[in-house]
Amino acid sequence: MTKPANKVATYKDLFTIPDNVVGEILAGELVTHPRPAPKHARAASVIGAKLLGEFDTRLGGEYGDWWILDEPECHLAEDIVVPDIAGWRKTTMPELPESAWFPLRPDWVCEVLSPATAKYDRGVKQEVYAREGVGYYWLVDPLEKMIEVFELQNDRWVLLEVVSDNTVVRLTPFETMPFDLATLWV
């Protein structure tokens, strides 16, 4: 979907897109893409479920130190982004907001790459997350069976590690939990 030349997209523009697409405003442009394909959705769902169970709400109702959420709408300065998964430490955001969107930057973001989103996830969205001070950024590629883990250091992304295939790993900032990558790659 495109917008008229020289028109800066606004929050109202998000209400004009069909329900079967995801809309974001990146650098003043309304960007839309289709809902995730099955391998994309599976990878995001498994990551979210594992992190939710370990770091957000644990078995037995005990609460962890993070809020882990699927596809939150984040208003970061003039940009509106919808990461596949995001996490806020409860010291950053003690309570969930009442609004339908999040005014605070996440502490961690995970984007699952797809042909429709990879150029944004590796480009303008990565720049937005750095500008806003998101501490950690994961790029998950379900087709290549790979995760890239970045940490923000001195306002720049530093690649900490690249993991792939069917290994068991511990990924920053959730290194206390072993993570079996084989569960992601269906």
Q: For the CA atoms of 180, 136, 127, 119, what is the dihedral angle to 10 degrees? A: 0
57: phi > 0 → left, psi -120 to 50 → alpha, else beta; which? Answer: beta
Q: What is the pLDDT of residue 4?
A: 47
Query: Do 154 and 163 contact (CB within 8 A), yes or no?
Result: no
pLDDT in tens, 107-154: 999 999 998 899 999 999 999 999 999 999 999 999 999 999 999 999
User: Residue 178 — pLDDT band, cuts 50, 70, 90?
Assistant: very high
Nearest-CA neighbor of 126 among 76, 179, 68, 72? 76
Q: What is the pLDDT of residue 186?
A: 76
Task: Give me 23's structure tokens.
Answer: 């809309």
pLDDT in tens, 72-100: 999 999 999 999 999 999 999 999 999 99
The model's pTM is 0.88
Q: What's the alpha-carbon Rg for the chain, to the nearest Å? A: 16
The domain locations on the chain are 36-183
Which listed CATH number (1.10.3720.10, 3.90.1570.10, 3.30.365.10, 1.20.120.450) goes with 36-183?
A: 3.90.1570.10
C-alpha 81/C-alpha 179 separation (Å) is 27
